[in-house]
Chain A
């Protein structure tokens, strides 16, 4: 079974600074998908970024980028120019296949990020 570990329970960053959230996972699969989801105080789960394991290039979405290290099974999220609206809980998630019976998301425990004004 796959496991996702987020070992930092909380982090804090100054507005406009850069912060990196860590995630490691364990799987015997060679191809899979990794995600970061954001959960603000409203509790809505919002997809931030997606990475396919077969792609060597790290995914980027505006101020959000990932550092995907397949051999190390590491998948960190970098948030540049942090904004107050980035304050939220961030979940790292693993998916074996995009569709079918193995497309469930396995989540880490999450990390609470606070952006200070």
Chain B
């Protein structure tokens, strides 16, 4: 158990819908990263937050947005969903001396 929690574990929805994925980092970690794992794109960095502020952006679509709240949990919002958004979405948190990233169990999103 990495100490990072993600909810829900699985999400099945239809095209055009909007969903919210939630992540709670390890106690004390200020950084949260979101990654997408799909068959064709592999593991890709989406976005990073540090102590409530956006720190870096990767290959994140405009239909996707994220935020980190004062209690440090983070949410990834995916809207106008398309079939190609079906993927495993990971959250990772980091902190401490080595700032290693510890991954949550992921949310499996299926868009039908």
Contacts and interface: CB of A to CB of B under 8 A. Distances in A.
Interface of A: 37, 42-47, 50, 91, 98-110
Contacts, number: 56
A109 B48 CA distance: 21
A103 B88 contact: no
B48 A43 contact: no
A100 B33 CA distance: 12
Interface residue SS majority, chain A: loop
Nearest to B58: A104
Interface stretch (B16-24, B63-71, B99-107): B99-107
B42 A105 contact: no
A103 B48 contact: yes
Interface residues of B, number: 25
A44 B98 contact: no
A67 B33 CA distance: 28
A54 to B, nearest CB: 14
A46 B100 CA distance: 11
A44 B105 contact: yes
B82 to A, nearest CB: 22
A106 B45 contact: yes
